[in-house]
Amino acid sequence: MKLCVGIDIGNAKTELAFESEKQLQLVRQPSVISYLPRTPESNDLPLEHVMNNLIDNLIVNISSPSIKRNGDYYIGKKAMQHDGIKTNMLINLGGKSTHDLPIITSLSLVAATSVKKHYETEGELPESLSIDLKMATAIPSSEFSRQNAKTLEDRFKNKHIVTLYIGDHQVLTSIKVTDCKVTEEGKTSMLAFLNSDEDILEDYNEIYSENKKPSDFKSTRSLHSDIGDGTSEFVVIEGASPVQGLSKGKRLGVGHASDLAIRLLREQINISDKFTRQQLQEWLKRDNEKGQLARNLMGEATLGQAQAILEEIQTSFQELASSDVDYVFVHGGGSITFKNELQEELMDFAKNNHFKVVWIPAKYATTMNSRGTFYLAKMMYSNKK
């Protein structure tokens, strides 16, 4: 099977973007894994049921020359629900190019997606599957150097074996990554934007009483603020091409507010040492007392983080972009979390400085990197067989 994907190896989630029957598909899981000292017992639920829930119940065995620890893992949601030791990305340390986690989550999603596709077209599980993969992904600006990008490209460009435990079946996949491009986060945002449906501009058109389509932006000069979980990137882009040298990254984002909220929560109630940022996100959605407490503390933590991010966008506009862009784009999960604290002040700043703000709607905000790297991969590899 041949596959061409863009992968966002985020601090919060890992997301694949690829095309299937000309439709763009997105598959994601939280960036959490849990190493299993022994293989879990298989279950005998009906195969159809197991396949419908495959992506949220990923159990794999991975063997790869590019990771430090081969073996059995729970991936994503399945790892979060598990009581054992969980690993997520430590946002203060970074190291997406060297950590095992991005390789493990990415390849597990590739394996599961491919097996699922085979199951849906053939009506049965394959015994094994060979996958030829061409891919593009990105690391934060704060981590980016030619050398670090090459390190990750070389780690992906290998042959990896991922066995999926599916009910009482095991499917062995061998994933050969033939091509891999590692770019800087945020740099492919405009590719994602220009390939988006028109409703990505719904909010913009309403705010500015305009009637623009994404293609109307194809030769504009813009500053992009991708506010993530662990890092935020600021990139000046002309048309769809990032301007050489005009990008920077800061360790700011939702995860830093979450870490503070977890510290505050720990002062008030007894929570496990293993409590992850991803678990806090689950709590925030709960309609109970703990949910309310988590929301209050997150509110406090959010304010300080939002202020730091606003200042960073403003200095990026003045210094990185020399006050010479017509649009500032805001996206990434932080554009959702910090919207109330950020948007109005940024709009005021925009008015005084004669640019417009394209605040990407929540529906698209966290998928710009996976979609952007997918279109990059498609451009780079579409003529290559």
| Residues forming the site for Mg ion (CB under 5 A) | 10, 228
Q: Which part of the chain contacts ligand ATP (CB under 6 A), choosing from 11-19, 66-74, 97-105, 351-359?
A: 11-19
For residue 368, which phi and psi values (nearest 5 degrees)?
-65, -35
| Ranges within 195-254 binding ligand ATP (CB under 6 A) | 228-231, 253-254
13 touches ligand ATP by CB under 6 A: yes
The angle subtended at Cα 246 by Cα 241 and Cα 250, nearest 5°, is 115
What gap in Å lies between CA 7 and CA 24, rounded to an integer? 13
What gap in Å lies between CA 55 and CA 164, rounded to an integer? 11
Token pair in block for residue 84: 């054992």
Q: Count of residues binding ligand ATP (CB under 6 A)?
A: 19
CA–CA gap between residue 231 and residue 221 (Å, rounded): 23
Residue 333 within binding range of ligand ATP, rule CB under 6 A: yes
Listed residue (135, 96, 201) closest to 375, CA to CA: 135
Q: Does 143 bind ligand ATP (CB under 6 A)?
A: no
Cβ nearer to ligand ATP, comparing 17 with 36: 17
- Angle made by CA atoms 134, 115, 20, in degrees to the nearest 5: 55
CA distance 180 to 357: 33
Q: Residue 202 has which token pair?
A: 């719904």
Quote the least distance from Cβ 37 to ligand ATP, whole Å: 28
Residue 336 interacting with ligand ATP (CB under 6 A): yes
Residue 93 binds ligand ATP, judged by CB under 6 A: no
Is residue 30 a contact residue for ligand ATP (CB under 6 A)? no
CB of 84 to ligand ATP, least distance (A): 23
Among 45, 93, 362, 379, binds ligand ATP (CB under 6 A): 362
Q: Could you tell me the smallest distance in angstroms from the CB atom of residue 30 to ligand ATP?
A: 9
Q: From CA 294, how far away is CA 242, in angstroms rounded?
A: 39
One of 337, 359, 376, 377 touching ligand ATP (CB under 6 A): 337
Which secondary-structure segment (H or E) carries 75? strand 71-75
Does position 366 bind ligand ATP by CB under 6 A?
Answer: yes
Nearest residue (CB) to ligand ATP, 96 versus 118: 96
Q: From CA 247, how far away is CA 233, in angstroms rounded? A: 7
The Cα 309–Cα 253 span in angstroms is 8
Q: Does 332 bind ligand ATP (CB under 6 A)?
A: yes
Q: Is 280 exposed, middle or buried (0-12, 13-18, 19+ CB in 10 A)?
A: buried
Interface residue with ligand ATP, options 12, 152, 166, 297 (CB under 6 A):
12
12 binds, among Mg ion, ligand ATP, none (CB under 5 to 8 A by kind): ligand ATP
**Given the rule CB under 6 A, which residues bind ligand ATP?**
8, 10-13, 228-231, 253-255, 281, 332-333, 336-337, 362, 366
